[in-house]
Amino acid sequence: MKLIIPWSAQSVQCPQIVRGAGTTLWDSDGTPYFDLCSQLMAVNLGHGDLRIAEAMAAQASILSYVNPAYSTPVREILAEKLAEIAPHELNRVLLTTSGADAIENAIKLARLATGRHKVVTKYRSYHGATAAAMSASGDPRRLSQTGFETPGIVRVEDPYCYRCPWGQTLGNCEYQCVSHLERVIAFEGPETIAAIILEGESGTSGCIKYPPDYWLRVRAIASRYGIVLISDEVMSGFRCGDWFAVSRHGVVPDMIVMAKGLTSGYIPMGGILAKESLISPRFDSKSLPVGLTYAAHPVGCAAAVAAISIYQDLDLIHRPREWETWLTRRLVDRLDSIPCVGDIRLTGFLGVIELVIPGTRLPLVEWNSADVSWTNRISSLLWAAGLMPNVRWNYVFFAPPLIATQAELDRAIDQLGSVLDLVSNEINDSISENN
Ligand SMILES: Cc1ncc(COP(=O)(O)O)c(C=O)c1O
C-alpha cells in the first residue's frame, strides 16, 4: 500500500521523520532539523512533551471513547479550562476534530442562528480543506474545487498594506479596505449575510498584518447589520501573544474557531467558542444539528487540558508578545538588507519573509504561479541548512515553537539569512545570464 501525500505531487520524495524532541526533528538518517514552523504552525509546545503524552495515555486507559453527546469528567474539565482563557462573552463550546470541521460547524451555526446564507471572507485566506471551509478560503488551494464550491461565499480584498490594492500607504490612507468591505456588504444585501470570517491574524496566505483598527471597524459593521463575526484562530490562536490573536485587536467576536495549538498538535482536535445567543433559546428544546463521531474525543480533551495547563504554568502564551520586538528587530537586522527580502511581517510567533526580485517590489514568485522553481530551490536550501521549512510561492514562513530559546532563534535566523544571501546571489546571476 502506498501512502497518498496531501497537497503534493505524488512523485515527490518526502523525507522520513522518525523522532521529535523540543524544537528538533530527526530524519531516518539521523539528521536533525530545527522546526522553523512548528510543522503546520501547530506544535507550539515542541515535540515529545511527556506531560501531554502521559495525560493522553492515562485518559485512554480510563475511558478511551464515548459518544460525544455524553458528559465525561475530562470534557467538563476542558470546558472549565476554556472558560479560563476565552473572552467571557463566549461561554458555549462545541468540540470538533480539526480546524476545517470546526469552520464547517461555525458556518452552519451562523446560518442557523441568522437564517441567512452568505458568508464574507477574504481572498488571501485559508480556512480548511473540507467543502465549505475550502470554499470559504480565498487562497488558490480552493481553485481545485472550481465548479463544485459551497454556494453563498462572497470574498473581499485584503488590507494588504505592502501591496495595497488601492495604491495607498498606511498612515496616509482612508481605509479603503474597510469601505470596500462595506460596499460589498451593501451590494450583496446585509440581510442575506450570515457571517464574516477573518483569520485572527493572517496565516499561510501571507501573514498580512491588519492595519490598526481594522478588526474594530469590521466588528462595528458586523454589529450594525446583525452579521455573526467569526475569528478563525486555528493558526493564530495560542501563538500570537494572547490566547486568541483577535484579543490583541481589542475585539470580541461572536465565535472563535480553534484547533492546532489547542493540543499543540499532539492529537487532532478543534472547537468553536460561541456566544450563548447563537445557541439559546433557539436550540433549548430543538435538536442542534451538529456532531461527529469523534468530536470531543476524550483523549483529545486530555491533550488539550494538559496543553493549556503548560501554556499557563510556563506563561508561554504571553512570550510571543514579550519577545515580538526583540524577534522582529533580530529578523530585520539580519534579513532586511538582503536584496531579495521585500517585507518582514511578524505577530508573536507567526511571521513571514516576503521575497521579491532584487531592486523591485515584484514578487519573486507570483501568487498561484505554476512556476515554483525558486520556491522549491529555497525550500531545499533550507532543508540542507538544517531548517525544516514552510515556503509557499514567495513566502518563507517563520513560526517556531514557543519553547524555542533565544539562542535557538538566533541560530535559526542566522541560518535563514545565509540561505537568503545565497538565493539573492543566485537570482542576480540568473538575471545577468538572461540579459
Ligand atoms: C486559519 C486556518 N483555518 C483553518 C485551517 C484548517 O485546519 P485543519 O487543517 O486542522 O483542518 C487551517 C489550516 O492550516 C488554517 O490555517
How far apart are alpha carbons 416 and 427 in whole angstroms? 16
User: Residues 286-302: pLDDT tens digits?
Assistant: 999 999 999 999 999 99
Amino acid at 135: S
What is the residue-averaged pLDDT of the chain?
97
Q: Which residues contact 211 (CB under 8 A, 6 or more apart)?
A: 159, 161, 170, 173, 175, 177
Domain boundaries, the chain: 17-48+317-434, 50-313
Cell of 172: 496616509
Amino acid at 402: L
Q: Whose CA is nearest to atom 7 of ligand 1?
A: 99
Question: What angle in degrees, to the nearest 10, is found between the helix axes of 319-335 and 406-434?
Answer: 30
User: Which of 130, 137, 201, 235 has the most ligand 1 atoms within 8 A of CB, as the residue to mutate?
Assistant: 235
Strand partners, 347: 350
Q: Can you spell out the DSSP letters for 179-247?
A: HHHHHHHHHH-GGGEEEEEEESS--TTT--PPPTTHHHHHHHHHHHHTPEEEEE-TTTTTTSSSSSGGG
Q: Which atom of ligand 1 is nearest to the CA of 260?
A: 10
Q: Whose CA is nearest to atom 6 of ligand 1?
A: 128
Fold match between 17-48+317-434 and 50-313? no
pLDDT at 145: 86
Grid look-up 475530562 returns 74
Q: Is the CB of 261 under 6 A from ligand 1?
A: no
3-state class of 156 per DSSP? strand
CATH number of 17-48+317-434: 3.90.1150.10
Instruction: Give the Å distance between the CA of 100 and the centre of ligand 1.
Output: 6
Residue 12: pLDDT band by 50, 70, 90 thresholds? confident
How far apart are alpha carbons 196 and 349 in whole angstroms? 25
> Of 241, 305, 243, which is closest to residue 269 (Cα–Cα)?
305
Instruction: Give the Å distance between the CA of 197 and the centre of ligand 1.
Output: 13
Q: Can you spell out the DSSP letters for 323-385?
A: HHHHHHHHHHHHHTTSTTEEEEEEETTEEEEEEB-TTS-SBSS-TT-S--HHHHHHHHHHHHT
DSSP state for residue 149 in the 8-state scheme: P
Q: Which atom of ligand 1 is nearest to the CA of 236?
A: 1
User: Residues 113-129: pLDDT tens digits?
Assistant: 999 999 999 999 999 99
DSSP state for residue 111 in the 8-state scheme: H
How far apart are alpha carbons 82 and 86 in whole angstroms? 6
Q: Mean per-residue pLDDT for 61-79? A: 98
User: Residues 329-362: pLDDT tens digits?
Assistant: 999 999 999 999 999 999 999 999 999 999 999 9
Amino acid at 165: P
Q: Is the CB of 136 under 6 A from ligand 1?
A: no
How far apart are alpha carbons 175 and 157 in whole angstroms? 12
Instruction: Give the Å distance between the CA of 42 and the centre of ligand 1.
Output: 10
Q: Is the CB of 232 under 6 A from ligand 1?
A: yes
pLDDT at 190: 98
User: Which of 207, 208, 260, 266 has the most ligand 1 atoms within 8 A of CB, as the residue to mutate?
Assistant: 260
In this predicted structure, the answer to whether residue 434 has a pLDDT above a threshold of 90 is no
Cell of 176: 479603503
Grid look-up 532539523 returns 33
Assess contact for 122 and 90: CB atoms under 8 A.
no
User: Residues 132-147: pLDDT tens digits?
Assistant: 999 999 999 999 888 8
Q: Which atom of ligand 1 is nearest to the CA of 41?
A: 14
Cell of 314: 510556563
Is pTM beyond 0.95? Reply is yes
Instruction: Tell me which of 3.40.50.300, 3.40.640.10, 3.90.76.10, 3.30.70.360 is the CATH number of domain 50-313.
Output: 3.40.640.10
Q: Which atom of ligand 1 is nearest to the CA of 98?
A: 10
> Of 78, 76, 96, 98, which is closest to residue 86 (Cα–Cα)?
78
